C-alpha cells in the first residue's frame, strides 16, 4: 500500500455501522473510491469532508475494499450550492449522474474536470438548469450513446430544420422526416440548441441565455433521451421533477 496525493470531490458521506463513516470521493487520479473512517467522532477529516467539498487528499488507495485518508488540504466548500435550495437540488442531480455514469475505480480525469467546472459555475450563480442540460447532454457519451445532433443521418445536410429519430439513432432533416413517422416531433430550434450545448466549451457559456419556454422543451427532450438511452432515474432527478410540480402548483394559486 502506497501513499498517493490526488484532488477529489466528495460525493457523499454516510454513517457506517455504529461509529464509523464511509466517504465516497471522486478522485482525479483514481476514479470514485470509498474511504473508510474509523471512529468518525474522533476523526479530524469528517467535519470537513461533506458533500460538495473538494480537497487535496493524501491517501492509501486499495483496488479492492476500502481506501483510507491520511491527510487533507486545500479544502474548498461550494458554499452557494450548500445554501441555495435550487442550486443544491441540481448539483445533487449532476453528482448522482456522474456517480452512475462510470464504474467505481474507473479513471476518467476528463469527466472529473468537467464535473468540477460545472459545480464551480453553479457555485458562482450561473443558470443551474442550463448547466445541468449541458452536463446531461455531454455525459450521454459515458452511457454509450454518443449523440450526433449536427446533421441528417440520411443526407448529412446540416442546414435544414431537424428532428430526432430513435429508429435511426440520430437526426432527420425535414426532407427526410417521412423516413420515420415516429420521430420525436421536437421543435427544430430545440434540436439546434441541444446541439450547441453538446459541443459548447464552458468558457463560451458565459454569454448564453435561454428563454424559459425553450428551457422547458429542452428539459422534455433530454428526459426522453435519458429514458431511452440511460433508463435510470436517480432520486435526485425525481426530486427536481417534484420541485417543478410544486412551482406549478404555487403559480396556479396566484
Ligand atoms: Zn436529410
Q: What percent of the chain has pLDDT over 70?
A: 96
Based on the fold, state whether residues 12 and 47 are members of the same structural domain. Answer: yes
Separation of 193 CA from ligand 1 center, angstroms?
Answer: 19
Separation of 179 CA from ligand 1 center, angstroms?
Answer: 10
Q: Which residue has the cell 469527466?
A: 111
Question: Of 28, 56, 77, which one is at a domain's C-terminal end?
Answer: 77
Task: Kindly report the CATH number assigned to the domain that includes residue 113.
Answer: 1.20.1440.120
Based on the fold, state whether residues 235 and 113 are members of the same structural domain. Answer: yes
Which residue range(s) make up the domain with 44?
3-77
Question: How many angstroms separate the Cα of 127 from the Cα of each of 8, 19, 132, 138?
Answer: 24, 39, 9, 17
Query: Quick one: cell of 69?
Result: 485518508
Query: How does residue 222 score in pLDDT terms, banded at 50, 70 and 90?
Result: very high
Range with lowest mean pLDDT among 64-68, 83-87, 230-234, 243-247: 243-247
pLDDT surpassing 50 at residue 254: no
Distance of CA 104 to the CA centre of its chain: 16
Q: Left, alpha or beta for 231 (phi > 0: left; psi -120 to 50: alpha)?
A: left
d(CA 99, CA 10): 11
Separation of 201 CA from ligand 1 center, angstroms?
Answer: 27
Based on the fold, state whether residues 129 and 201 are members of the same structural domain. Answer: yes
Separation of 142 CA from ligand 1 center, angstroms?
Answer: 27
Separation of 226 CA from ligand 1 center, angstroms?
Answer: 24
Separation of 173 CA from ligand 1 center, angstroms?
Answer: 4
Query: How does residue 40 score in pLDDT terms, banded at 50, 70 and 90?
Result: confident
Query: How does residue 183 score in pLDDT terms, banded at 50, 70 and 90?
Result: very high
In the DSSP assignment, the letter for residue 147 is: -
Give 164 or 237, the one with higher predicted confidence.
164
Separation of 136 CA from ligand 1 center, angstroms?
Answer: 26
d(CA 191, CA 130): 15
Contact 22, 16 (CB under 8 A): yes
Based on the fold, state whether residues 73 and 192 are members of the same structural domain. Answer: no
Separation of 171 CA from ligand 1 center, angstroms?
Answer: 8
Rounded average pLDDT over 181-203: 93
pLDDT surpassing 80 at residue 206: no
Question: Of 48, 77, 106, which one is at a domain's C-terminal end?
Answer: 77
Q: What is the pLDDT of residue 224?
A: 95
pTM (predicted TM-score)? 0.91
pLDDT surpassing 70 at residue 248: no
Q: Which residues are found with C-beta within 5 Å of the ion, ligand 1?
A: 152, 154-155, 173, 175-176
Rounded average pLDDT over 230-247: 84
Range with lowest mean pLDDT among 20-24, 39-43, 202-206, 207-211: 202-206
Q: What is the mean pLDDT of the chain?
A: 92
Query: Quick one: cell of 48?
Result: 470537513
Separation of 215 CA from ligand 1 center, angstroms?
Answer: 26
Based on the fold, state whether residues 61 and 151 are members of the same structural domain. Answer: no
Amino acid at each position: 500500500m502506497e501513499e498517493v496525493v490526488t484532488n477529489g470531490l466528495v460525493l457523499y458521506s454516510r454513517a457506517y455501522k455504529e461509529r464509523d463513516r464511509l466517504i465516497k470521493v471522486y478522485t482525479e487520479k483514481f476514479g470514485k473510491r470509498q474511504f473508510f473512517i474509523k471512529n468518525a467522532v474522533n476523526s479530524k477529516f469528517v467535519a470537513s469532508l461533506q458533500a460538495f467539498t473538494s480537497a487535496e487528499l493524501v491517501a492509501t488507495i486499495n483496488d479492492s475494499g476500502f481506501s483510507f485518508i491520511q491527510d487533507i488540504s486545500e479544502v474548498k466548500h461550494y458554499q452557494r450550492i450548500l445554501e441555495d435550495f435550487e442550486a443544491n437540488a441540481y448539483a445533487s442531480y449532476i453528482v448522482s449522474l456522474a456517480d452512475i455514469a462510470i464504474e467505481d475505480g474507473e479513471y476518467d480525469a476528463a469527466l472529473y474536470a468537467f464535473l468540477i467546472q460545472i459545480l464551480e459555475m453553479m457555485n458562482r450563480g450561473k443558470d443551474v438548469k442550463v448547466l445541468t442540460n449541458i452536463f446531461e447532454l455531454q455525459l450521454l457519451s459515458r452511457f454509450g450513446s454518443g449523440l450526433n445532433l449536427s446533421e441528417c443521418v440520411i443526407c448529412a445536410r446540416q442546414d435544414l430544420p431537424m428532428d430526432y429519430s430513435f429508429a435511426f439513432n440520430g437526426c432527420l432533416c425535414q426532407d427526410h422526416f417521412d423516413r420515420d413517422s415516429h420521430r420525436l416531433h421536437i421543435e427544430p430550434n430545440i434540436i439546434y440548441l441541444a446541439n450547441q450545448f453538446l459541443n459548447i466549451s464552458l468558457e463560451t457559456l458565459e454569454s448564453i441565455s435561454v428563454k424559459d419556454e425553450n428551457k422547458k422543451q429542452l428539459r422534455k427532450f433530454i428526459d426522453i433521451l435519458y429514458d431511452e438511452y440511460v433508463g435510470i432515474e436517480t432520486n435526485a432527478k425525481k426530486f427536481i421533477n417534484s420541485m417543478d410540480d410544486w412551482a406549478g402548483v404555487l403559480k396556479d394559486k396566484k
